Structure 1
Amino acid sequence: MAIIHKATLSPSKLELIADYLPKQPWFIQDGSPELIGAYRFDDPAGEVGLETHVVTAGERVYQVPLSYRGYELAGAEEWLIGTMDHSVLGKRWVYDACGDPIYVKALATAILTGQKEAELIVDGELGPRPSTVTVKGSGKLDGGIPALSASAPVSGSGVTIIDAGGLRLKVARVLDVAADASSNTAAAPELHSELTLNGQWAGLEESVELASVVRN
């Protein structure tokens, strides 16, 4: 469950993303980003906000995972996107979440166990708010995930690779919205083959692969 506060943000999340994208090797300079939707994972400790944005710029669709912290993450200066003032929570440090170990664990857990996006609870509203992007992992593990020790992510042509001890995660940055990822949803719980996180949003006929994991 992710708690959402009704708050004013300065700068906005989209403003931070718009400044960050042109600096990335997988971004094609073709128009300003516009938000399609977003989904969240839950930090069990309740300390870190984990929100992934799906944006379009030109004819391409990009995935931008962000983590929000109330303090600086040691050793993650390279992945700091910026800071913003949150009218409820105060100053927030915003990171490319691929460099945040809380996100790496949440992503791996979702893929391996078949989790969906976190339920959104908004302060002052009765009942959950629907997510604008829905996701589901293809794995079926019943137990805990392996211990992770994430190394520095490496971004290349359209993807970011995270070596996390016994697992290797691949986060798609440029999304192939023409692909049909539905065939991946019945994968076995063992990691003999690639397991995936698949997502869908309004106007998209088939789910699209957002991330995957294999055993190193």
Structure 2
Amino acid sequence: MALLHRADVRPTKLELLAAWLPDRPWFQGEAGAELERVAAYRFDDPAGEVGIETLLVRAGAGPVHQVPLTYRGAPLDAARRWLVGTCEHSVLGRRWVYDACGDPVYAAALARAVLTGAGQVEEYFEVDGVREVRPQSMTIVADGPRPVAVPEFGPIEQAQEGDPTRIVGEAVELAVVRRLGEHTELPGSRLTGSWEGQPAALPLAYVSPR
């Protein structure tokens, strides 16, 4: 489960992405259009240290893009190229925001969610000791082969930015789709998603043992 905070964040996630996305080779958006949040889902870090959230965003009439992010309380070693930016969180302080495809915590969480069928985690606020669950903005489903023993992802051996973005670990390879609905099927177990306005599930990511 993911504990959320009613906090002021500056700059906002969308402001960070609006400055960062145009330089990505896989981004396609209407020039000058405001970036819009379409939906989102989260995974859990078992250690409780890293926030893991995937945003679906669109610029004007452009395609829906999938942008996984990780939120950290300190810089991630050797991951400068994956840094989206920093923000000030009124509860948690300074946060380093990364394109999660370069973060091993995200890679392990994605592999685990797909290979076990765990899917996304529930988001909630704590208000006067009472848990308030936030409704999910999209549905994600894992399908395909599931191993008896889920392999550990381990450190990232290679990450290739593109569409899809490929992330290679010791025993698992991931492919994260960036522009949703614009690619051919890939081998392996997959994660699909649907949201308001998109009732037919689209592939989000693929996971294959090496």
Deviation at 1:101, TM superposition (A): 0.5
Deviation at 1:140, TM superposition (A): 6.2
Unmatched tracts of structure 2, length 5 or more: none
8 Å CA contact 1:177, 1:208 repeated in 2: no
Separation in structure 1 between the aligned mates of residue 180 and residue 120 of structure 2, nearest angstrom: 18
| Structure-1 residue corresponding to 2:67 | 64
Deviation at 1:91, TM superposition (A): 0.4
Task: Deviation per CA, 1:164-196: give whole Å up to 9, x if none.
Answer: 1221100000000899x9xx9xxxxxxxx5110
Equivalent residue for 1:200, pick from 189, 194, 199? 194
Deviation at 1:17, TM superposition (A): 0.9
Give the 3 Å change call, closer, same or farther, for CA 201–46 of structure 1 in structure 2.
same
Task: Deviation per CA, 1:26-69: give whole Å up to 9, x if none.
Answer: 01242332110110001111100000000112331100000000
Separation in structure 2 between the aligned mates of residue 62 and residue 2 of structure 1, nearest angstrom: 23
Deviation at 1:145, TM superposition (A): 2.0
| Structure-2 residue corresponding to 1:189 | none
**Percent identity among equivalent residues?**
44
Separation in structure 2 between the aligned mates of residue 178 and residue 170 of structure 1, nearest angstrom: 12
Deviation at 1:102, TM superposition (A): 0.5
Separation in structure 1 between the aligned mates of residue 89 and residue 148 of structure 2, nearest angstrom: 37
Separation in structure 2 between the aligned mates of residue 162 and residue 8 of structure 1, nearest angstrom: 32
SS of aligned partner of 1:147? coil
Amino acid at match of 2:178: R
Give the 3 Å change call, closer, same or farther, for CA 5–75 of structure 1 in structure 2.
same
1:52 aligns with 2:57: no
Deviation at 1:136, TM superposition (A): 2.0
8 Å CA contact 1:113, 1:138 repeated in 2: no
Which range moved further: 119-128 or 42-51?
119-128
TM-score by length of 2: 0.90
Unmatched tracts of structure 1, length 5 or more: 185-192
Which structure has the highest strand share of the two?
Answer: 2
8 Å CA contact 1:114, 1:140 repeated in 2: no
Deviation at 1:123, TM superposition (A): 2.5
SS of aligned partner of 1:104? helix
| Structure-1 residue corresponding to 2:156 | 150
Alignment of 1:154-165 (within 5 A): 154-156=160-162, 158-165=163-170
Separation in structure 2 between the aligned mates of residue 159 and residue 151 of structure 1, nearest angstrom: 17
CA RMSD of aligned residues (A): 2.1
Amino acid at match of 1:131: Q
8 Å CA contact 2:146, 2:189 repeated in 1: no
TM-score by length of 1: 0.88
Separation in structure 2 between the aligned mates of residue 144 and residue 74 of structure 1, nearest angstrom: 30
SS of aligned partner of 1:153? strand
SS of aligned partner of 1:131? coil
Runs of 4+ in 1 over 6 A off after TM superposition: none
8 Å CA contact 2:29, 2:58 repeated in 1: no
SS of aligned partner of 2:78? coil
